[in-house]
Amino acid sequence: MKVAMVIPSYWGRERRIGWKEGDAIYDHPTPLDEEGTLLRALESIHILNDRDFLLVVIAVATAHDIADKVEKKVRKIVKSANLDIDTIVFCASHLRKIHDLMHSDGINTEMLDLRGYSNIRNLCVFIPHVFGRDVAVLIDDDEVFEDADFMAKATEFIGRRIDSLSEGKGKGQSGEMRVLAVAGFYVNEEGSYLVKKETRPWMKWWNQYECMNRAFEKIIGNPPRLKETPFVFGGNMVIHRDLWMKIPFDPNVPRGEDIDYLINARMFGFRFFLDNKLSIKHLPPPKVHPLWLQLRMDICRFVYERAKIEHQMLDKMNIDKMNVTDVVSAEDFDPYPGCFLKHDLHDRIVHACRLLSEEYMKEGDRKGAEEALRNIRTARECAPRYNVYQWFCSIRRSWEEMMIWAERRSSEIQELIQ
pLDDT at 314: 86
8-state DSSP, 356? H
Count structural domains, the chain: 1
The one-letter amino acid at 255: R
Does residue 276 form part of some domain?
yes
CA distance 20 to 233: 28
CA distance 112 to 188: 32
Residue 66: CA count within 13 A, CB half-sphere: 26
pLDDT at 171: 44
Does residue 221 form part of some domain?
yes
Does residue 374 form part of some domain?
no
The neighbouring-strand residues paired with 6 are 56, 138
Does residue 325 form part of some domain?
no
pLDDT at 170: 47
Residue 79: CA count within 13 A, CB half-sphere: 6
From first to last of the 418 residues of the chain, give the pLDDT tens digit: 999 999 999 999 999 998 899 999 999 999 999 999 999 999 999 999 999 999 999 999 999 999 999 999 999 999 999 999 999 999 999 999 999 999 999 999 988 999 999 999 999 999 999 999 999 999 999 999 999 999 999 999 999 998 754 454 444 455 678 999 999 999 999 999 999 988 899 999 999 999 999 999 999 999 999 999 999 999 999 999 999 999 999 999 988 999 999 999 999 999 999 999 999 999 999 887 899 999 999 999 999 999 999 999 888 666 666 656 688 999 999 999 999 999 999 999 999 999 999 999 999 999 999 999 999 999 999 999 999 999 999 999 999 999 999 999 999 999 999 7
User: What 3-state DSSP class applies to 237?
Assistant: strand
User: What 3-state DSSP class applies to 5?
Assistant: strand
Contact 258, 122 (CB under 8 A): no
Burial class of residue 94, CB neighbours in 10 A (0-12, 13-18, 19+): buried
pLDDT digits over 199-251, tens only?
Answer: 899 999 999 999 999 999 999 999 999 999 999 999 999 999 999 999 999 99
pLDDT at 313: 86
Does residue 11 form part of some domain?
yes
The residue range of the domain holding 51 is 3-288+392-417
Contact 198, 210 (CB under 8 A): no
CA distance 405 to 103: 12
Task: Single out the residue of 165, 168, 157, 256 nearest to residue 212, CA to CA.
Answer: 256
Does residue 385 form part of some domain?
no
pLDDT digits over 338-358, tens only?
Answer: 999 999 999 999 999 999 999
CA distance 259 to 245: 18
User: What 3-state DSSP class applies to 404?
Assistant: helix
pLDDT at 70: 97
Question: How would you classify the pairing of strands 181-187 and 273-282?
Answer: parallel
Residue 227: CA count within 13 A, CB half-sphere: 20
Reduce the secondary structure of 288-335 to three states and give it as a string: CCCHHHHHHHHHHHHHHHHHHHHHHHHCHHHHHHCCCCCCCCHHHHCC
Task: Single out the residue of 219, 142, 222, 135 nearest to residue 184, CA to CA.
Answer: 219
User: What 3-state DSSP class applies to 353?
Assistant: helix
pLDDT at 317: 62
Does residue 346 form part of some domain?
no
CATH (domain of 170)? 3.90.550.10
Does residue 305 form part of some domain?
no
**What are the φ/ψ torsions at residue 333 (nearest 5 degrees)?**
-115, 20
